[in-house]
Amino acid sequence: MGLPATLSVPTTEAHAEQPEPVGDPDLRLLVDGQVLLPVSVDQGLHIFHLIGPARQIRLLSRALVPAAQGQGSPDDRRLGVSLWWIRLRGSDASIELRHDYRGLEEGFHQAEAGARWTDGFALLPSRVHRFLTGAVTVEVMIGCPDVQYPVPAYTPRPRALVIDATVPTPDRDAGSNVILEHMRLLQSLGYAITFLPANLDAPSPYAEALAEAGIELVAHPFTAGLEHLIALRGPSFALAYVHRVTVAEQAMPLLRRYAPQARILFNNADLHFLRLQREAELTGSAALAQEAEDMRGRELRAFAEADAALVCNSQEMDLLADELPDARMVYLPWVIGPRGRSAAGFAERHGIMFLGGFAHRPNADAVIWFVTTVMPLLRPLLPGVVLHVYGHGMPEAVRALAGPDVAIEGSIAELAEAFARHRVSIAPLRFGAGFKGKLAESLAHGVPVVASSVAVEGSGLIGDEHLLVADGAGPFALAVVRLYQTPALWQQLAEEGNRFALAAFSERLGRQRLSEALALAGLAAAD
């Protein structure tokens, strides 16, 4: 897939709604974590002055992907600048690197047609500049003047960079629903959104769904990763919303370095260390206990370093306030739009349902515990009643539970269909943290719930008023029987639970609390 040193990628009708591309590659140097602009640019020659020797030098630039330009090109490489040569001069030595220098490896494509393309984030080998002393001048000669680079659409709105581990997959996990709802709220507050998945994957149809929502997605092959994007576009972001501690550990130092003006809003989804601690206590695992202690320090550090944070569990917010009295936090449990409640009543519904993403260990544990411990107590009390298990990524241990009264349903495209069929939803979690999306979805769809204390803590939900709460196999089984066989109780909880969910987890309240978090971070709503 060779490419000539001169490349023209005109716009087409299919891309008419995209912003006009630009010919400027916006070439800079990234020197030991500092962005350096050229002191002069003349007919492709970019000159940079370094105040002294450098440990690491990268060529940072815009990039394009020919195969994505609508011209039928098979070239799916990310192309930064077409490099002819580089000269580096120190106080008493100099070196010139031609395009065919074999030492150009990381971030460089193969030499071709008298030039060599970078990928927009190319690393100069340290052996060619580490011996230079004094002030260093770097001259970079690039070619291919006809290249047109895509740029983000202009908007007068402030731009928020939202970073999560992956592109949201709302049919697979609750965390994806959270980040999607929060991005919609940010849009309603006047922000333009750029979304960056830390793993750089952009699977269909989820990537297309972001585009349809007016969200710019930056992923493979259009970027080399977090540092590439943040170093290149950091000054354009007013806000950085960072989801999950593992992402925060990568992103926060880069944001502070390359986008110091951006305010950082952190959302950890749940307190991982608390969940791990509870799992360790349940299983007696010393390894999990140590992991929980390690995670505790990591999470508290992320909360402390953010400008503001969102917390979805009121008990966890109290815990954090004790640990970090100076942290700026806002309680935002869940955001859920109106759900279409099925007209099916008590008599038309049958069976029990469990909904959860099985990449999350508490869900697998809950189903296994319920089937092996609670179902034996239920069978003589509710003969023939079937448990239906819904969710993505079920492990074999869950699939092996299938039987005459345990239906392993797997993923379901339309949750409303499942909620319309079943009489009772269960959340028998034995450990966990954060907010349980299965509760909000069940109640919003008008399906009463039997849940454990762990499942409802910090949610505002009250046992016997909005749902039934029970712990232990016997009490849990009796609560399920009571709800399953009592039409008046079922109707009461269906109505009260639904009313609470639509009020406490409303878009209006979510927007208000997110606006409060922005204010704590030093930003105002942009609308």
Which residue, chain included where needed, has tokens 């080998």? 125
What architecture does CATH give domain 352-505?
3-Layer(aba) Sandwich (3.40)
Nearest Cα neighbor of 129 from 106, 99, 80, 96 is: 96
Which residue, chain included where needed, has tokens 């241990």? 397
The pair of structure tokens assigned to 337 is: 């739009």
Q: Considering the entire predicted model, what is its pTM? A: 0.92
SS3 readout for 57-123 = EEEECCCECHHHCCCCCCCCCCECCEEEEEEEECCCCEEEEECCCCCCCCCECCCECCEEEECCEEE
CATH no., domain 159-335+511-521:
3.40.50.2000
Note the pLDDT tens digit of each residue in 456-472: 999 999 999 999 999 99
Which is it for strands 28-31 and 34-36: parallel, antiparallel or unpaired? antiparallel
CB hemisphere CA count around 10 (13 angstroms)? 2
What's the rounded mean pLDDT across residues 49-59? Answer: 94
Q: Residue 9: which pLDDT band, with cuts at 50, 70 and 90? A: very low
The pair of structure tokens assigned to 199 is: 């793993």
Neighbour-count burial for 312-330, b at 16+ CB within 10 Å, e otherwise: bbeebbebbeeeeeebbbb
CA distance 333 to 56: 44
pLDDT value of position 29: 97
CA distance 314 to 459: 7
What's the rounded mean pLDDT across residues 392-405? Answer: 96
**Is pLDDT of 304 > 90?**
yes
**Is pLDDT of 374 > 80?**
yes
**Number of C-beta neighbours around residue 172 at 10 A:** 18
The pair of structure tokens assigned to 21 is: 């591309």
The pair of structure tokens assigned to 404 is: 């005459």
CA distance readout (Å), 334 to 286, 337, 462? 33, 10, 16
**Is pLDDT of 527 > 80?**
no
**Number of C-beta neighbours around residue 380 at 10 A:** 8
CB-count exposure of residue 160 (10 Å: 0-12, 13-18, 19+): buried
CA distance 455 to 434: 9
Phi, psi (rounded to 5 degrees) for 30:
-110, 105
CA distance readout (Å), 456 to 21, 191, 429, 439? 51, 33, 10, 8
DSSP letter for 162, please. Answer: E
Q: Where in the chain is the domain with CATH 3.40.50.2000?
A: 159-335+511-521, 352-505
Nearest Cα neighbor of 69 from 121, 27, 10 is: 10
Amino acid letter, 198: A
pLDDT value of position 62: 95
CA angle (465 as vertex; 460, 466 as ends), nearest 5: 60
**Number of C-beta neighbours around residue 291 at 10 A:** 17
Higher pLDDT, 173 or 462: 462
Which residue, chain included where needed, has tokens 């099925």? 342
Q: Are residues 441 and 466 in contact, defined by beta-carbon separation less than 8 angstroms?
A: no
Phi, psi (rounded to 5 degrees) for 10:
-70, 160
The pair of structure tokens assigned to 44 is: 């492709």
**Which of helix, strand or coil describes residue 263?**
strand
What's the rounded mean pLDDT across residues 59-84? Answer: 90
Q: Residue 16: which pLDDT band, with cuts at 50, 70 and 90? A: very low
Instruction: Average the pLDDT over each of 22-26, 473-477, 515-519 and give the range with the smallest value.
Output: 22-26
